[in-house]
Structure 1
Amino acid sequence: MPMGPGTMSPAGGDYSNMSMGGMGDMPTMHTSFFWGKDVILLFSGWPNHSLPMYILACLFVFFMAAAAEALSLAQSVKLGPSPVKGAAVQASFYAVKMAVAYMVMLAVMSFNLGIFIAAVLGHSLGHFIVKRNSVTLYERFNADGSG
């Protein structure tokens, strides 16, 4: 049954793997998690149904997620004697962090489980590195007797 005005759902009500009808060779738009290398990630034609490129895409998402977490450490660093200059530097770091975080979010919206797992692991590793570094800095600060 074709969808049109007044139609509430496709035949059978299954939205899990809707295809954008009437658009030629348009790939399937997934609305539920799926496994496989056949995914479009961030750019049209990438990773192009190739296993090595899919693995590269997973690594790319992993490192972007880790970088998003690592950039959160820059928020606590005070730079320079000028408050305006310090605020501008922190705003710049924040803009880069948000851009990277949104790219990871858009990648996860592909609903590919491999990409999702890469993003979660990347965020976890980045968080671990940030927390380890902040604890180490705190311990050094208190070990000096100045805290």
Structure 2
Amino acid sequence: MDGMSSMEHKSYTHMTFFWGRNSEILFAGWPGARTGMYVLALAFVFALALLVEWISHCRLIGDRLKSNRIATAVLRTLMHAARVGLAYLLMLAVMSFNVGVLIAAILGHAVGFFFFGSRAFQGTPPPGKASADLPTTNC
């Protein structure tokens, strides 16, 4: 018995975009070749992109907290770190080169921007008031 047969490992590494559910997204062996897990992976990527948009456009820092500059700076720094970390995780998922993952990420960002960034459901902030706690990202 040679050593290769006992250590077989299916790898779904692609270097070009492809359609299909047989892939690895973020974690070794996940979602693999299971359709249900692939759909779950797409939902996870969609939710991740939606969360990045929410963090980018949310207003968590209240007026009382804004008077404490250090606490405000720490909270904004933590929010920025979370946004960047989640965006990098999302980028790594897209680097699986799976077209379904790319579409899920784009749709997650689009839906997130529509609900949180387009102001379709919010009034215009008063003059001098920031519309979000964090500055916009520059791509």
What TM-score does the superposition give when structure 1 sets the normalisation length? 0.72
Higher RCO, 1 or 2 (CA under 8 Å, sep at least 6)? 2
Q: Quote the Cα distance in structure 2 between the aligned partners of 1:51 and 1:28.
A: 15
The corresponding residue for 1:60 is 44
Greater Cα radius of gyration, structure 1 or 2: 1
Equivalences, count: 119
Q: Contact between 1:65 and 1:126, CA under 8 Å: does it hold in 2?
A: yes
Which protein is richer in helix relative to its size?
1
Q: Give ranges in structure 2 of 5+ residues lacking alignment.
A: 1-6, 128-139
1:117 corresponds to 2:103: yes
Aligned equivalents of 1:113, 1:107: Cα separation in 2: 11
CA distance in 2, matches of 1:75, 1:54: 33
Post-superposition shift, 1:75? Answer: 7.2
Structure 1: segments with no counterpart, 5+ residues: 1-22, 143-147
Instruction: Calculate the aligned-residue CA RMSD, in Å.
Output: 2.4
What amino acid is aligned across from residue 41 of structure 1 in structure 2? I
Q: TM-score, normalised by structure 2?
A: 0.76
> Is the counterpart of residue 48 in structure 1 residue 54 in structure 2?
no
Q: Percent identity?
A: 35
